[in-house]
Every structure is written in structure tokens, then in C-alpha cells.
């Protein structure tokens, strides 16, 4: 069976991410959730915190592994022997950027394909940044993230109240 990576910052992991993961885990033999250490973003959670939350939320998937990487996802895919990069598409606005990235990745390594998954329609509007903003202003994100993630968001964003 094919090995795939699902790269992202996952800051934090949402039910939309987990929906894509569930779909990918049913198609591929092994899926690595590859937590990006992106120097251009200023993540709320450390890499270790993001990995711990993802581990807590994915224990029911025996074919899912969690790792982290710096640099290009296509290079990480090659390093772990993956032949597929998984990307989620929420809306048509995501497609242009993701299509460009897929073409660039193919140019860099034509042995690695990009496969797009669409989340359940309940999650098409959902993003990590939106979830963070809702919590920042005291809103309830219970339907958007697992309980452990909600608790960690509240701890981080409302600790000064």
C-alpha cells in the first residue's frame, strides 16, 4: 500500500483536518501527519504541543504516524518514502494556491503526486485561524475541534483574563 504525508501547521488541529485524515487513512496504507515548523508563521502552539494534541486525537488510526519537519513538504515526502502528498480543499479559493504548489512539487520530484481531499461540507468554512479568533473573543468552538484542543486553546488564549 502507498505511503502518504499530510503536511500542515495544524495550529491547532481541527475537525476539518481530522475529517481529511480519516478519508486519507482509509485510502492509503500509511499516512504521516507532518507538522510543519514554519519560520514564516508565528504559531500559537509549539511543535511539541501540536504533536501531542494530534496524537491524542488520532489514536484510533493504527496506520497514522505523526512527525514534524522543516523545509519543503516534497523533500520530507521523499525522505520518508512517500509517493503522495495529501492536501485539503475547502473552497475554490484554496484550489489556485494548492494547484500551484502541486505543480511546483511535481516539478521538484515527479515521483510524488498530490491528492486533494474535500472535507465534509460541515467543515468547508473551518480554519485554524478562525478557531483561534473565536476562542480569543470568548466564543465556543466545541463543534469545530476535539475537546482536548478546545481546552488547550482556552488555556493559551484566555490565561491572562
Contact 13, 50 (CB under 8 A): yes
- Burial bucket for residue 74 (CB in 10 Å: 0-12, 13-18, 19+): buried
Q: Active-site residue among 41, 70, 120, 136? A: 41
Q: Which three cell numbers stand for residue 55?
A: 496524537
Whether 41 sits among the annotated catalytic residues: the reply is yes
Contact 58, 6 (CB under 8 A): no
Q: Active-site residue among 2, 65, 68, 90? A: 90
Distance CA 152, CA 103 (A): 36
Whether 17 sits among the annotated catalytic residues: the reply is yes
Q: Active-site residue among 23, 87, 128, 132? A: 128
Whether 132 sits among the annotated catalytic residues: the reply is no
Whether 40 sits among the annotated catalytic residues: the reply is no
**Catalytic amino acids?**
17, 41, 90, 128
Amino acid at each position: 500500500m502507498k505511503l502518504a504525508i499530510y503536511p500542515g501547521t495544524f495550529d491547532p488541529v481541527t475537525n476539518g483536518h481530522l475529517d481529511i485524515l480519516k478519508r486519507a487513512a482509509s485510502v492509503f496504507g500509511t499516512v504521516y501527519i507532518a507538522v510543519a515548523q514554519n519560520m514564516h508563521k508565528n504559531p500559537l502552539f509549539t511543535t511539541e504541543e501540536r504533536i501531542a494534541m494530534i496524537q491524542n486525537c488520532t489514536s484510533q488510526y493504527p496506520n497514522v504516524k505523526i512527525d514534524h519537519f522543516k523545509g519543503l513538504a516534497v523533500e520530507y515526502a521523499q525522505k520518508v518514502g512517500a509517493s503522495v502528498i495529501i492536501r485539503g480543499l475547502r473552497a475554490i479559493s484554496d484550489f489556485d494556491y494548492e494547484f500551484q504548489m502541486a505543480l511546483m512539487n511535481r516539478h521538484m520530484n515527479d515521483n510524488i503526486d498530490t491528492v486533494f481531499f474535500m472535507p465534509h461540507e460541515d467543515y468547508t468554512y473551518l480554519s485554524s485561524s478562525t478557531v483561534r479568533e473565536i476562542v480569543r473573543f470568548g466564543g465556543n468552538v466545541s463543534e469545530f475541534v476535539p475537546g482536548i484542543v478546545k481546552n488547550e486553546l482556552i488555556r493559551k488564549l484566555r490565561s491572562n483574563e
